[in-house]
Amino acid sequence: MPRCKADPSIERVEADAFKFPLGVYPVEEMTPKAGYASFFEPADGGEDAEAATEWEEWPDRYVFDIVVSAERVEPLCRMLFSLMPGRVYPILDVLGQDAYREIDPYISYDLIGLDRFLDDVREYRDLFYEDGMVGFGAMSEDPFMYVFVDEHKIVTVRVQPELKERVEKILAAFDCEENPEPAGADSAAHEHRGVLLSDRSADGMRFDEIVEILKDEWRLLLNVDAEQNLDESGKDLGVTPWRLVIRFDPDDRSLASYVEVALAAPNLREAEEAGIDAAARLLGDVDPDTHQPSIVGSDRLSREQLTDLLKSAASKRRSRAKRPAAKASKGEDVSIDPPPSETEPLKAGQLWLARIIT
């Protein structure tokens, strides 16, 4: 049995013979329109310039926004990815848990072999092509090409002018015609859902587990400004609560250690640095120089979410304390601040939680 498999009990939504992905579907009447819109973008970085700040300015390019029925997304993408060179920069979007950002955008600044990328896409195909909580893709610089399947399973392609005709031939092979207004699930009120069987049973791999593997395999970094703390509208949030999950990988390939930390910080960089320091002190026998730390998750919390997290952690501590054979935690010497009140100003460096979770 594949370790990544969609739940077979989930019914697919269809309209006018158009099949929607299992993980995203309209909740109001709509008429889906297959096809593609195409337009030219000059060499100015385009709408997604933020995703390319580490590279040179994107060249003149043609853009294709493509909507096809769910059963055609994977074969179409296989053909599109075949146009890319042998090494690419993978991209991953995850509908995450951050209180002030809907999507966690990850990108690799290291070239990864296309065959390795495609092997992972095949292994986790039900996640990539059916799950409504994730988008993925890849880009290359020479030739310039960008292929991205978003969380609605709508495909966006950007190519330098020399590749335009080749993309059009692939679309023609799929009987995908030009349409100025193609319409998928995102053109109406719609819902997103996770579809993996492993999120509903003990079989297979969980969503979070696969994302963690992909972040390691593809060398992905969270593509946000680590020196600022902004919401999606650009508002500066100042110091906010953060929840981090940090993994320490020992050199001898023994089991990794995971630590959950809740703290206050004014930006991602300071949150991660403080989190790694607190986690290393909690574990006691871990040296960050020999046990490589990895940030598994780094989410900002609302005050309400922070309160719920600390209450849950306190409840688990009380439950463990009732067990006569329970051992003392390695981290009893880690200084923990009391939970803040609803109106208390937060101060960078406050640490409310540090616990080993595996």
- Read off the pLDDT of residues 295-337 as tens digits, 9 standing for 90 and up: 999 999 999 999 999 999 887 766 555 544 434 345 445 778 9
Residues 272, 145 within the same domain: no
Q: Is residue 309 part of a domain?
A: yes
Containing structural domain, residue 120: 14-198
Residues 177, 246 within the same domain: no
Q: Is residue 186 part of a domain?
A: yes
pTM for the model stands at 0.88
Q: Is residue 62 part of a domain?
A: yes
Residue 200 has pLDDT above 80, yes or no: no
Residues 130, 23 within the same domain: yes
pLDDT of residue 292: 79
Q: Is residue 120 part of a domain?
A: yes
Q: Is residue 206 part of a domain?
A: no
Residues 117, 261 within the same domain: no
Q: How many domains does the chain have?
A: 2
* Per-residue pLDDT reduced to its tens digit, 77-108: 999 999 999 999 999 999 999 999 999 999 99
Q: Count the neighbouring beta carbons within 10 Å of the beta carbon of residue 101.
A: 17
Residues 113, 176 within the same domain: yes
Q: Is the peptide bond before 143 cis (omega within 30 degrees of 0)?
A: yes
* Per-residue pLDDT reduced to its tens digit, 94-146: 999 999 999 999 999 999 999 999 999 999 999 999 999 999 999 999 999 99
pLDDT band at 56 (very low <50, low <70, confident <90, very high): low
Q: Is residue 70 part of a domain?
A: yes
pLDDT of residue 317: 66
Q: Is residue 144 part of a domain?
A: yes
Q: Are 228 and 245 in contact (CB under 8 A)?
A: no
